[in-house]
Structure 1
Amino acid sequence: MIWRLVVLGGVCVCLVAAEGSSRAGRTVTFHRTRQDGSPRQVRARPRRDTSSPPGASKLSHGPAFSPCRLPLTAAEHKVLDDNTHETGFNGDDGSYVILTWVGDGTGVVLVLSTISVPINTFLDGGSSRLYRSTDYGKSFHDISHRINNTFIKEEFGVSVGPGSSVILTADTPVVDNPGGIIFTSADAGATFKLIQLPFHLDQPITYHFLNPDYLVALSIDGGLWLSLDFGAKWTKVHDGVHSFSWGAGVNLFFSCSRVDTVEADERGDLVLKGTRDLGKSFATIHEDIYSFGYIGAFLFFSVMEDSRSPRVMYFSSDQGDTFSRALLPSASTEQFYSILDGDVDMLFMHVDNPGDTYFGTMYTSDDRGILFSRSLERHLFDGHRKSDFTNITSLRGVYLTNKLDEDGRIRSVISFNRGGMWRQLNKPENVDCGEQIKKCNLHIHGEHSRNNMIVPMLALSEPSAIGLVIAHGTVGDSLSSSQHPDVFVSSDGGYSWRGTLRGPHHYSILDSGGLVVAVEAQRGGQVRTIKFSTDEGQCWKSYNFTEQPFFFAGLASEPGTKAMNVSVWGFRPEEDGQPMWVTVTIDFQSLITRECNKRDYEEWLAHSTEGGDAGRKGCVLGVKETYRRLKKQSVCRNGKGFAVSKKQSPCLCTRDDYLCDYSYYRHTNTSECVRQPNAANKTLEVCLDGEEDELLTAGYRKVPSDKCEGGFTPQLAVQTVVRPCGVKPSPSPPPEPAPPGTVFDTPRERLVLILVCAGAGAIVLVAIASAFLAVKRVVYSNRTPVYRFSNLQIQDDDNSVTADLESANSSNGTVCQHDSDDDLIG
């Protein structure tokens, strides 16, 4: 069996427990790849990979622990038996199955079962079957007649958008048909409408974040098409398009060739354009781009200023009105950039090291995406361009990743302050490493391990399950691929851990963290047992959900983690060699019947697990957050109406809430930001509208998204002296020598960034700048600036959209980039 990645509603989701929009569904695809009907089993086993980093598979075994198991009572067994529903799909239904949840809390599940290739014409062959459930997968009805038994594409046949919108894409021959066929449903699959497209799709149709009527599509000949009425009518808005992305509001960005054919220009010679009015007019943002993306509030793109030069990164935080070159190392053709994560306040960026090193440097940005701080050295990014970087969504500011140390070993590190400082994970509390293991830490398997089939799934966290993290890992000196990974759980966002299940498992979070379920990833056998826990994995009970085991394909639950139904998917080989697809849906709501009351909850101060200054305990990014969350010993139901409740209180500011400003650095023996010795004065000069502004700084800049109040307040005596450009200030004394160990690489634009690691893991920023970063539309003379700004050049195209458009709500949500790590931004 092979697990596929499916894109729906602009959100990237994977097979099990992937995070998606609360307004969108979640799609799971199951394959049977052997045509002779014999099963191909899911295997979670170590495998030596010749492309793995050196030393990745020569590590020691970790220590054992004893999971807590509780017996299932006869009464509990009967309740689960009465509320477990098994559905079998006919053996001739095909070689893969796509499962999709539709809507939020609707209980609607669509299942599309299809063979690999159409055996008849697309309208009368009946080669695809569509099933619908309105009771969370307990029962299904065949609704294939609603789509005329049309053969649906395997690659991107099902797309679920905001609300209850669904699009099915038919597989039609390109030669015999002027365009493709889609079926649209605005009522969660109760009815479908057939639409003949004037083009053939090259990739899935993309929904707008908020308005399901706004659709964008890319045709196989590079045409960018737009629909404003949920696919009923389509208008071509541009030719020669390579990729596109929604921005905030109705902003739409796309890269295109200089002449309107996809083949005419190569990457690095593309033009980045944008439209604010849904295709009526266009603005050229930048030329010579390699690729681009949009995440958080940032538009970003890499530029090849000539065919022989390395790529450099540009960012815009105002939808492309202005943009700036980021203070990041350039990337040659053998290197790449990758945006790891981002929001409206900052970005995480990986810059690959030259050569096949399997690592690079991670940077974090300021709130404009211009100045980047070096966050983590030797960040693991393997030969398949897979990163282990993970955002722990159950607690603010927590990120988890792996690094490749100089000894060739992979070690896990965690940050609790958005990349400001990284450290190794603590040893699990119920694991005794013994004297033979000198360094005993928990190390978490990430995308690198899943790509090498060592683990079946990645670390899991959900915003509604505060502090809860479930992950595969090993305990010892470093990450081990020579032993089976075990499952570990943290209830405080990653500060402390405990071993909870032996061996690899598939797991899912239900009822906002009140229930956790898991199915063991069997090496060669079939599954029939599900494990569940009501105390965040401290103890588990087991239930045999079927009398006839089957080969496991996936564990699936409704998006949003509020449901208490979970479906186990798989297939049984039949005597005729065809698979019998099976889904077993277990309703735990009938087992856990009591609604939670006030006594079942507790007040919990986040980030307070470890000691420290009593006044600063729990302070992260200037705020203390106290959550109301379920007690572990409470066996009750949070329910559909559960909402995360928290109280915030600002912390007094300290110097830790500030970064050192440009031309300053944090001295190793003090927490103060001190002046870089070679900086002659405190002046930062810019030329704005023909006049030169001179600004002064006291040397401190607050960390992005930090909300501290009072306490330490630097005296930011910013003064401005305006004079005509070209009038230079009086001569300054020559710069003093740089301190030992400082490396300068001074280009003619005289802008240098030095990143120095100070004591206690603090990140130190030192920059000598001849331009002030916060100013837009700067006019420079007689030199090439590092920061380049451009006004948009508006042009009207004949093929504009003529419909009367209403303004959509602005959105700064994260968008799934269409490019992979290989070509996202180069």
Structure 2
Amino acid sequence: MALQGHLWIAVSVFVFVVIFSSVTAKIKYRDDIYEPRVVSLGDGDKLEHELNRIRRESSKNNRGKMGVSDSHVEVHVNTFKNKNHKQAVVHWSGSDSNAIFLLTREVIDGVVNSSSLYRSLNYGVTFDEITPQNSVISSFFVDPNNYTKLIFADRKNRAVYVTDDEGKTLSGPHHTQFNPQRLVFNPILENVLLGYSYTQEQLFVSRDLGKTWKKLQDGADSRFFWFIPGVDTNNMTVHMEIADPVTGQMHYKACIIEWTESDNVHCSPLTDLSSALGTIAVESLVVQNEYIFVQKNTQRSAEMYVSYRRQPFKKAYFPQGLESVEFELYDTDEHQVFVAVRHWTDVLNLYLSDITGQYFVLSLENVVTMDFGTFSFSDLIEIKSTPGVFLSNVRTTYGIVTMVTYDKGGNWSRLAAADPKCRLPDCSLNLHMMYSSFKYSIPQGIFSKKNAPGIIIGLGNEDGYLNMQSKSNSYISRDGGHTWTKLLNGNYQFNILDQGGALMAVQPGVYTRHIQYSTDVGGTWKPVTLNVSLMIDGLLNEPGITTLVSSAYGHHQTGDYGWVVIQFNLTGAFSGKCTDKNYEHWSPGGEHACTLGERAVYQRRKQNADCYNGQDYERPINSSVCTCTVEDFEW
């Protein structure tokens, strides 16, 4: 499910497979994982160019300053000629740090064959290689409790390298008893983490930042979760799925990790929940907020069971009497479960629950979805810039239309178009999502950030229905989706900077010398013209979007280079830092609107103010309880 977080959102989608007439389903969920972002070389041109046309040569990391036409924008370029390193893994330390970690790697059939690790201490102006000798770093993991602590996993050699000073020094290799494929840090305790091997199906625990490990569980599935602060009473509680050693059937287990005097590990079971539950479906356990979800399968359908605030599991009930075969959890905030349910008729509906997560009502029917057997998805996106706002594409008799809810699924309506000639109900704004990307190779691009209140950017068209054949344009909303304005003609990839104070845009799928930027939230645009033509594969910035620095990851048209990383700094495009007179107050839905029982008032920079917020800007948010209306009650 989509939950808010201040770092990269990695969407981990767990799917099910239907074999013949029986159900072998998994409960899917979208989870925020504290880990770096991945960009693939050729992402920008994969629709129009074959990746094997791009040649690379091995050489040293080249640094330089790239000439630009706009003297207000500072630009730096780094070239990494690592042969065959077609993936880059990027991480910003955030907080008050200027460190960036970059891992380039060659991946063949899912296995990392070679890699190079780099670190920048000046926000990407320059990089130094810090690859440990004789290592093949596959990935790295960051302690969310302390950004200076990272673990670099060498799966090929079954070892990890550890730093507690943001990469200044690396200790290791520390050899592990397992293939370190997945590491999950404790939510509040530094140095404590779980390690998992998919191939060995074993779960391990470390309390010294991964230097030493103890086996916690054999027969463990990849569905394991640390305790939830404020819900679980012990901060060493682990929820997991385990297989019976005799029958192979899956069971839910919760236990508390304890170290003995001899430094061995014991996990004391919590039997209150698991004892009466019985067998569950493989890879169906999900622990989110005050809820625990599992799935039980029959020959023809699937049933979801839920534990609310760690009380006994109860069967979840959905209306309409349609058989359920797949559940996808989208949100469990505000003491309510928002779930998509796929039915045998290839219909996918959205449902909302009561506070216990047991009883559901219909929210939206006929959501656009695709099922590939081993992979499936639905067109539903949470807007992070405005609480309670979701966008979804639904099928109608004549075509696909985009719907919006401002109250987390309580009510849905079509989007008002930017063009006044396009009027509801016959004409509306319709936006591309996952279906457009997979079915028609149209990049889905709905952008929103928690730290940029009200701002939503999308790609689509103004028509009666979503048009897959005509040219799409980019649109922006500054009021949480109530009104829209055309942003740029055509398809662009965007970055939101300075907590909504600046935007950057680049056209994907073409070699270009031009990067666009805006200092008035898309009102006007200015070009940064490079002295070389590049294919931009990814446009990224630090996850908190508190700075005016953005990085573009791409490659040269000649094919004589590997990765080219360009840093843009827009600070010089503004006259200075904002003062009180440069801010306004904004409330979702209007001054007197009440959403989910709350009225929130945000401070944000005025659209045309010639100033920037700055990295130390802390946005005031005033929230107050408002009078409930009939829509706020469950029936």
TM-score bucket of the superposed structures, by smaller chain:
0.7 to 0.9
1:632 aligns with 2:630: no
1:424 CA displacement: 0.7
Q: Which residue of 1 aligns with 2:551?
A: 567
1:141 aligns with 2:128: yes
Counterpart CA distance in 2 for 1:622 and 1:378 is 28
1:41 aligns with 2:31: no
Counterpart CA distance in 2 for 1:204 and 1:361 is 32
**C-alpha contact (below 8 Å) 2:225/2:238 kept by paired residues:** yes
Correspondent of 1:396 among 387, 411, 417: 387
Q: Which residue of 1 aligns with 2:262?
A: none
Correspondent of 2:525 among 526, 529, 540: 540
Q: Which residue of 2 aligns with 1:600?
A: 582
Percentage of matched positions with identical amino acids: 24
| CA-to-aligned-CA distance 1:378-437 (integer Å, 9 cap, x gap) | 122222421221111212221111111244x21111111111111111111x45349xx9
What is the one-letter code of the residue matched to 2:251? Answer: V
SS in 1 for 2:278: strand
Q: Which residue of 1 aligns with 2:489?
A: 502
Q: Which residue of 2 aligns with 1:259?
A: 245
Counterpart CA distance in 2 for 1:142 and 1:333 is 55
- For the structure 1 residues 8 and 158, does the alpha-carbon distance in structure 2 shift closer, same or farther, using more than 3 Å as the test? farther
1:184 aligns with 2:162: yes
The answer for unaligned runs of 5 or more in structure 2 is 13-29, 50-66, 230-234, 259-265
- For the structure 1 residues 352 and 283, does the alpha-carbon distance in structure 2 shift closer, same or farther, using more than 3 Å as the test? same
- For the structure 1 residues 142 and 460, does the alpha-carbon distance in structure 2 shift closer, same or farther, using more than 3 Å as the test? same
Q: Which residue of 2 aligns with 1:293?
A: 286
Counterpart CA distance in 2 for 1:161 and 1:326 is 35
**C-alpha contact (below 8 Å) 2:429/2:463 kept by paired residues:** yes
Q: Which residue of 1 aligns with 2:263?
A: none
- For the structure 1 residues 606 and 113, does the alpha-carbon distance in structure 2 shift closer, same or farther, using more than 3 Å as the test? closer
1:90 aligns with 2:78: no
**C-alpha contact (below 8 Å) 1:8/1:27 kept by paired residues:** no
- For the structure 1 residues 329 and 12, does the alpha-carbon distance in structure 2 shift closer, same or farther, using more than 3 Å as the test? farther
- For the structure 1 residues 182 and 420, does the alpha-carbon distance in structure 2 shift closer, same or farther, using more than 3 Å as the test? same
> How do 1:267-278 and structure 2 match up within 5 A?
269-277=249-257
| CA-to-aligned-CA distance 1:35-54 (integer Å, 9 cap, x gap) | xxxxx824389xxxxxxxxx
Q: Which residue of 2 aligns with 1:236?
A: 215
1:374 CA displacement: 1.1
SS in 2 for 1:129: strand
| CA-to-aligned-CA distance 1:715-772 (integer Å, 9 cap, x gap) | xxxxxxxxxxxxxxxxxxxxxxxxxxxxxxxxxxxxxxxxxxxxxxxxxxxxxxxxxx
- For the structure 1 residues 330 and 192, does the alpha-carbon distance in structure 2 shift closer, same or farther, using more than 3 Å as the test? farther
What is the one-letter code of the residue matched to 1:259? Answer: P
How many residues are treated as equivalent by the alignment? 569
SS in 1 for 2:631: helix
SS in 2 for 1:659: coil
SS in 2 for 1:466: coil
Task: Give me the TM-score of the superposition, normalised by structure 2.
Answer: 0.83
Task: Give me the TM-score of the superposition, normalised by structure 1.
Answer: 0.64
**C-alpha contact (below 8 Å) 1:42/1:552 kept by paired residues:** no
- For the structure 1 residues 209 and 13, does the alpha-carbon distance in structure 2 shift closer, same or farther, using more than 3 Å as the test? farther
Correspondent of 1:549 among 523, 527, 533: 533
Counterpart CA distance in 1 for 2:92 and 2:362 is 41
What is the one-letter code of the residue matched to 1:379? Answer: V
**C-alpha contact (below 8 Å) 2:151/2:210 kept by paired residues:** no
1:314 aligns with 2:305: yes
The answer for unaligned runs of 5 or more in structure 1 is 1-6, 34-39, 46-73, 174-179, 610-616, 661-826
Counterpart CA distance in 2 for 1:518 and 1:202 is 37
Q: Which residue of 2 aligns with 1:657?
A: 632
- For the structure 1 residues 309 and 77, does the alpha-carbon distance in structure 2 shift closer, same or farther, using more than 3 Å as the test? closer
| CA-to-aligned-CA distance 1:485-530 (integer Å, 9 cap, x gap) | 21110000000001111111110110000001110123xx312211
Q: Which residue of 1 aligns with 2:450?
A: 463
| CA-to-aligned-CA distance 1:571-608 (integer Å, 9 cap, x gap) | 1266xx65332111011113224110111111223212
Q: Which residue of 2 aligns with 1:223?
A: 202
CA RMSD of aligned residues (A): 3.1
SS in 1 for 2:512: coil
Q: Which residue of 1 aligns with 2:58?
A: none
Higher relative contact order (CA 8 A, sep 6+): 1
- For the structure 1 residues 349 and 466, does the alpha-carbon distance in structure 2 shift closer, same or farther, using more than 3 Å as the test? same
**C-alpha contact (below 8 Å) 1:92/1:578 kept by paired residues:** no
What is the one-letter code of the residue matched to 1:30? Answer: S
SS in 2 for 1:517: strand
1:281 CA displacement: 0.8
Counterpart CA distance in 1 for 2:364 and 2:567 is 43
**C-alpha contact (below 8 Å) 2:390/2:404 kept by paired residues:** yes
Q: Which residue of 1 aligns with 2:360?
A: 372
**C-alpha contact (below 8 Å) 1:289/1:303 kept by paired residues:** yes
Counterpart CA distance in 2 for 1:32 and 1:654 is 51
- For the structure 1 residues 582 and 197, does the alpha-carbon distance in structure 2 shift closer, same or farther, using more than 3 Å as the test? same
1:152 CA displacement: 2.1
**C-alpha contact (below 8 Å) 1:20/1:559 kept by paired residues:** no
| CA-to-aligned-CA distance 1:95-115 (integer Å, 9 cap, x gap) | 333222234331111122233
1:302 aligns with 2:282: no
What is the one-letter code of the residue matched to 2:171? Answer: K
1:341 CA displacement: 1.9
- For the structure 1 residues 483 and 469, does the alpha-carbon distance in structure 2 shift closer, same or farther, using more than 3 Å as the test? same
**C-alpha contact (below 8 Å) 1:9/1:206 kept by paired residues:** no
1:372 CA displacement: 1.1
> How do 1:382-531 and structure 2 match up within 5 A?
382-384=370-372, 385-407=376-398, 409-428=399-418, 430=419, 432-433=421-422, 439-452=426-439, 454-522=441-509, 525-531=510-516
- For the structure 1 residues 573 and 204, does the alpha-carbon distance in structure 2 shift closer, same or farther, using more than 3 Å as the test? farther
**C-alpha contact (below 8 Å) 2:163/2:169 kept by paired residues:** yes
- For the structure 1 residues 27 and 186, does the alpha-carbon distance in structure 2 shift closer, same or farther, using more than 3 Å as the test? farther
Counterpart CA distance in 2 for 1:102 and 1:13 is 20
SS in 2 for 1:169: strand
Correspondent of 1:200 among 178, 181, 189: 178
- For the structure 1 residues 111 and 456, does the alpha-carbon distance in structure 2 shift closer, same or farther, using more than 3 Å as the test? same
Counterpart CA distance in 2 for 1:623 and 1:129 is 49
- For the structure 1 residues 386 and 142, does the alpha-carbon distance in structure 2 shift closer, same or farther, using more than 3 Å as the test? same
Relative to its length, the structure with more strand (as a share) is 2
Q: Which residue of 2 aligns with 1:733?
A: none
Counterpart CA distance in 2 for 1:168 and 1:427 is 48
- For the structure 1 residues 96 and 627, does the alpha-carbon distance in structure 2 shift closer, same or farther, using more than 3 Å as the test? closer
SS in 1 for 2:607: coil
SS in 1 for 2:200: coil
Counterpart CA distance in 2 for 1:246 and 1:410 is 40
**C-alpha contact (below 8 Å) 1:8/1:159 kept by paired residues:** no
Q: Which residue of 1 aligns with 2:315?
A: 325
SS in 1 for 2:367: strand
Counterpart CA distance in 1 for 2:8 and 2:357 is 23
| CA-to-aligned-CA distance 1:257-301 (integer Å, 9 cap, x gap) | 1117xxx52xxx310111134652123513211111122321111
1:368 CA displacement: 1.3
**C-alpha contact (below 8 Å) 1:13/1:26 kept by paired residues:** no
**C-alpha contact (below 8 Å) 2:301/2:325 kept by paired residues:** no
**C-alpha contact (below 8 Å) 1:44/1:504 kept by paired residues:** no
What is the one-letter code of the residue matched to 2:208? Answer: D
SS in 2 for 1:448: helix
1:91 CA displacement: 4.8
Q: Which residue of 2 aligns with 1:69?
A: none
Q: Which residue of 2 aligns with 1:759?
A: none
Counterpart CA distance in 2 for 1:11 and 1:161 is 16
Counterpart CA distance in 1 for 2:632 and 2:81 is 61
1:634 CA displacement: 0.5
